[in-house]
Amino acid sequence: MTYELHLKDGRILRTRISHPPDRSTYGPAIWRHILREQLDVAEDEFWTCARDGVKPDRGEPPTPAGALPGEVVHLLITRVGLAEGEVAAMSRDEAVARLQRYWTEGV
């Protein structure tokens, strides 16, 4: 099975899950190769991500606190019919309440 991660800078990182033919484990050299060439992370970044869920720095700007999820923005504009400026001025709570009103009352 091959996994792909599409990065904002246009790169696509690919890695495969496979096992050595003799059922042994991978040695340190192949592990370093996978981390460096396929995942583009240092070993400590990998384990921090695996254990704690902290994603490696990929050069993306952090998401602003209180930012609306893209799907919510899309629904408010395309389904509810709000203008982009109106959606941009909403807090997260206001956006969710507006979607709930649309789904329950149809307006």
7: in domain: yes
Say what the pLDDT of residue 61 is: 78
Cα–Cα distances in angstroms (integers) from residue 11 to residues 5, 7, 54, 58, in the given order: 8, 5, 20, 11
Tokens of 13: 């990182």
20: in domain: yes
24: in domain: yes
Same domain for 15 and 43? Answer: yes
66 torsion bin: left (phi>0), alpha (psi -120 to 50), beta (else): left
Same domain for 13 and 48? Answer: yes
The pLDDT tens digits for 19-30 are 766 767 777 888
Structurally, how many domains does the chain consist of?
2
Confidence grade of residue 51 (pLDDT, cut at 50, 70, 90): very high
Q: Which single residue is written with the structure tokens 């040695």? A: 27
Full-model pTM:
0.50
15: in domain: yes
> 44 is in which domain, residue-wise?
2-52
